[in-house]
A and B are shown apart, each in its own frame.
Chain A
Amino acid sequence: MKLLACHIENFGKLSDLSVEFSDGINVINESNAWGKSTLAAFLKAMFYGLDAKKEPKAFDKERNIYRPWQGGSFGGELDFEINGKRYRISRSFGRTEKSDEFHLYDLATNLESQDYSENIGVELFELDSASFKRSIYIAQNDCASAASDSINAKLGNLAENTDDINNFEAASSRMKALLLQLTPDRVTGSIKRRKGLITQLEQEIHALEAAQEGLNGVEVMESKVQERIDEMQNIRKDYAAALVIASEDARRKELYAQYDALCEEVADREKKMAVFQSVFPSGIPTQKEFEVQMKNVRLMEEAKAAVRNQAFTPAEKDTWNKLRDMFAMEKPTDERIDAAIQMLSEVDKQKEEIARQEATVSMYEVDLEREAEIPRFGSGYKLFIYIGIGMLLMGIAAYAAFYFKLLENSNAVILTGAVVIAVGLGLVLCGIGIFLRYKTQKSKKAWIDAAEAEHRELEEQHHLLSDTIAAMKENIRTVNAAIREFLGNYRIYCDVKEYPSRLYELKSQIREYERLKARQNVLIQEEESSERLRTEIMTFAEEYGFVLGDDLTAGLNTLQNKATEYKMAANAYQDSLNKKENFQKRQDKSFWSREMRCPYTVTELNHMIEEADRSLDELKTARAQYSKQAEELKEQLDLRDEKAAELLRQRNLQEDDLRTYNLVSAAHSFLQKAKEQLTARYMEPITKGFSKYYQMLTGDGRGEWMIDANINLKVREYGELRDTKWLSAGYQDLTGICMRLALVDAMYKEEKPFLILDDPFVNLDQEKVECGNRLLLSVAEEYQVIYFTCHHSRSPV
């Protein structure tokens, strides 16, 4: 098969590009970024279309990568020849695979051909798109790059060190490692380990399953114990109810005892009361009566005491007798005595008045007999007159002297003044003296008139007083006579002088008489009262059949005590009757039936309840133990559930791991088998082809190389087969191209394809480039080669 020409409408950066292809080598010498890879991709796309999937490590899908940069129709045409027939592939690409269009034309007729379908690539080469690309395309190698493994890297999966057969060992190791990690046959495998864990969990769960049985048993036991507790609690409740009845019985019994005691008490007290009833046949004095009589006793005693206290002493008795005789006839009143005393007092006063009047009379007589003496009146006025005259004289003398010029040297004015003053003064003083003399004479005359009037009055009074004195003396005699008579009535005879004292004594005697008389009256009264009370008390006692004896108080007390005892007995009897009555009232009907309703006593029932409580405690303890046991078993069941969940999880994991293990195991097995088949199918043709090209390249036919089962080339160097990575980069590239060409030989057994080489010798030195070029020229005899380069030095033609 060979390419004839192509026209690129738009594909990636290429647009409206037409290329003619010839047999042998077609060199396209263009600079970098011209679009050599795009042209190669276009050629592949014409046969295979665009890949729907994104290639590993590609940055996007082909459709997106090669969508025309400038827009426009996406696609082109490719003319090729096969088996002597020429065809034209026309493809246009839409946004999706569905909108792609494919046409195949027979160039001989220009009619659409049905010789091949749109899968023309596969139909022609029996290779898929990827295999085609890997095999015929030695992709672009950057001319600037010096990477030693770049050629090898572009030789396709079979020969390149990427992700296919050369990665088999790594893939196999990875799967083995995973299988080892999972293996059910070794303890290092998770499946084996988990199997142990699952077994352990199953055993643990099995062991814990017993807890369910145990729990069931414990719950049954707990339930039984609970039933017994309920039963025992019911029994205890019955006992408690019986205890209430028994307590009631006991209480009633106690009440019966109380009632019987009350009855006995009533009888006993009635008996005692009957004894006292014989003591008081006429009845019992009341308390009030006793109180009255006791009061009488007290009053009687008080009367007696009063009699004793008020009794006269012998002296008082003598006095009493004397005074009683003295005043037997009449007892003077105090008023009379006081009147007599008053009269005596008046007499005394009259006597004193008489004496004084008599003295006055005597004085009047003396005064009447004495010459009246004129008192001396003042003579001071004479001095004023004398001095006044003297001053006048002196003034006159002075004037005379001046007048007679006796005093010539004297100042006339002064002298005149002095004369005037002296005369003036003399005149004033004389005037005063005259006035004073007048006044004195007038006073003297008044005094003499008064003295004469007084004398006359004295005479009149003298006569009057003399009469009065005579009258008073008469009165005194009368009074004394009356008092003497008064005192004589009470056998009192004494001198006039003793009258007052005797009157006072009489008054005292009257007081004493009255006092003694009052005492005498009290005595009589108390004696009478005492006797009356005594009679009354005796009568009272006799009325109730008692004789009190002399000691009324003791008798009365005895009587009262007996009455009190009787009353107490009666009260006690009444109390007991009341108590009995009240007791009877308090009791309900049931009380009067003396039948006991509980066969057990309270003590017996208490004992039975204690027993029941003890049993209940034991049962509750047992229940608590069962409860605790059940709790522990429930914890174990919770643990069982947890372990069951864990077991389920582990089983799921185990299932997953087993599935993974089986799948990985199968995958490993298939991969191993695939590798064996692949190498078996291609090993010999590749070896043969490599030998041919290696010899063509090196001229070395000794076979100092070997291709291993992984189609890895090893070359003998210094006596040892070494991996090509130990070779120089240029040598690696050359051997890689040989391998690639050998591979193409092996793969394309029928129709040989064209080869696209994208500047494969960029890493080689000139010598090696020439070797390569020679190799290519040889290859071009068999294959159509499209050779891209960016430098003419590497062009083989």
Chain B
Amino acid sequence: MRMIHCADLHLDSKMTANLSKDQARERKAEILRTFSKMVEYAQKNNVTAILIAGDMFDTRNVSVNVRNAVRDIIWKNPDIDFLYLRGNHDTDNFLCKLEEIPDNLCLFTNKWVTYSYEKITVTGIELDAENALTAYNSLVLDHEKFNIVTMHGQLAGYKSKDNAEVISLDDLKNKNIDYLALGHIHTFQMEQLDNRGVYCYSGCLEGRGFDECGPKGFVVLDIDPKTRTATTEFVSIAARTLYTIPVDLTGIHTTQEGAERMEAAIAGAGVSSKSLVKFLLQGKVDVECELNTEFLEEQFAEYFYFIKVENQTKLMVNYEDYANDISLKGEFIRLVYASDLSEEEKSLVIRTGIQALQGEEISL
């Protein structure tokens, strides 16, 4: 039996953080289309069920077109079960607007709910403040079956954001779990849970920000109920991939040199022109280095669907160089050096003064 584990679709996300209005609209449609492509994949590959481990939608009020599109996709694929566990971003806005819940849309509640497929079980719970602590003790699974457990939340020990509940892996160990299908973390991650099973965050279907870089998609489980074994495969399906490319600019003095370093960084990196790319400028540059990030953004704008240049370079000031500089600049630097500003502030103040004296645009 084949099953798809996906999560964090965040359909109807506004996508306005980085992108232009038109790009946001396009990306919004692409996210919906990717969901549809995943279902087409399921249909072509005889997938019995699609497990959505939370955050199918992004907002409280799902727009009508997205709601109808999802409903139609579910209705038009009656031979595929959609096991939908609501996450911290999901509300009942989608479900309560349905005139009737399709037979193949299987829901979970704040109590453990199990769906069985011969010798395979899918058990899930929607965590909330009330059941977050008590859920673990009430989970009982048959050791003779292949048990999939699904939850949405942040692993204990990590900082939780967006009011997501915390999942305690320790409390899920040795409970006959074969595959713990999790949602909330937007990057694929699979680790051993205990001697028997693994836990897996499938990640999101499409990256939305530069904190969601790399390939995105879903996990296909091919389960043999007789042997209680499963093979897993991560299927990358995202229409566009986000990359954060670090570029070490140490030692450069001009923007053009920076551009050359960026060119070198992307050369052979296999980054598609459809991608969204953030260049992370790093390293130490001389305080007099002329580095124009806006120019760099313009220069690389045509390379990719979206580009962002973030300057995280540290300024390097060799004060000895200016000790005997009889000039306004030398005097200025010596004065700043003698001040009680922090080293970072000193370097930034010096850069500001030098940019101003050189007639450059002041950028920090």
Chain A interface residues (CB < 8 Å from chain B): 53-54, 56, 122, 125-128, 130-131, 134-135, 157-158, 163-165, 167-168, 170-172, 174-175, 178, 627, 631, 634-635, 637-638, 642, 645, 656, 659-660, 663-664, 666-668, 670-671, 673-675, 677-678, 682, 747
Contacts and interface: CB of A to CB of B under 8 A. Distances in A.
**Could you say which of A170, A174, A637, A670 has the most chain B C-beta atoms within 10 Å of its C-beta?**
A670
Contacts of A54: 253-254
Given A158-B327, A656-B364, 4 more contacts: A131-B325, A157-B329, A667-B353, A670-B353
A128 B324 contact: yes
13 contacts: A53-B253, A128-B322, A128-B325, A172-B356, A634-B93, A635-B61, A638-B60, A645-B17, A666-B341, A671-B356, A674-B332, A675-B328, A747-B326
Contact of B356 (A175, A659, A747): A175
Nearest to A646: B16
Contacts of B329: 157, 164
**Could you say which of A130, A158, A660 has the most chain B C-beta atoms within 10 Å of its C-beta?**
A130
B95 interface: no
Contact of B59 (A157, A158, A638): A638
A671 to B, nearest CB: 5
Nearest to A656: B364
Contact of B357 (A130, A167, A645): A167
Nearest to A179: B362
Contacts of B330: 128, 131
A677 B321 CA distance: 19
Interface of B: 14, 17, 59-61, 91, 93, 96, 253-254, 286, 288, 321-332, 334-336, 339, 341, 345, 348-350, 352-353, 356-359, 362, 364
A671 B328 contact: yes
Nearest to B364: A660
Contact of B359 (A167, A635, A638, A678): A167
Instruction: Specify the main secondary structure of chain A where it touches its partner.
Output: helix
Contacts of B323: 122, 128
Contacts of B327: 130-131, 134, 157-158, 164-165, 678
B321 A128 contact: yes
Contacts of B60: 634-635, 637-638
Given A631-B93, A637-B60, A663-B352, A165 B328 contact: yes
A130 B362 contact: no
Contacts of B93: 631, 634
Contacts of A635: 60-61
B331 A674 contact: yes
A567 to B, nearest CB: 65
**Could you say which of A125, A171, A645, A678 has the most chain B C-beta atoms within 10 Å of its C-beta?**
A171
Contacts of A627: 96
**Could you say which of B253, B327, B348 has the most chain A C-beta atoms within 10 Å of its C-beta?**
B327
A171 B253 contact: no
B353 A171 contact: yes
A520 B73 CA distance: 108
Given A131-B326, A660-B364, A670-B335, A171 B96 contact: no
Contact of A664 (B253, B350, B362): B362
A634 B61 contact: yes
A329 B350 CA distance: 182
A627 B254 CA distance: 60
Nearest to A215: B60
A739 B362 CA distance: 31
Contacts of A53: 253, 286, 288
3 interchain residue pairs of minimum CB distance: A171-B356, A667-B352, A674-B332
B18 to A, nearest CB: 11
A253 to B, nearest CB: 40
Contacts of B328: 157-158, 164-165, 168, 671, 674-675, 678
A746 to B, nearest CB: 9
A294 to B, nearest CB: 75
A167 B330 CA distance: 14
A175 B352 contact: yes
Nearest to A637: B60
A223 to B, nearest CB: 12
B61 A631 contact: yes
**Could you say which of B254, B341, B357, B359 has the most chain A C-beta atoms within 10 Å of its C-beta?**
B357
Contacts of B336: 667, 670
**Could you say which of B17, B329, B358 has the most chain A C-beta atoms within 10 Å of its C-beta?**
B329
Contacts of B324: 122, 125-128, 131
Contacts of B59: 638
Given A670-B349, A675-B331, A158 B326 contact: yes
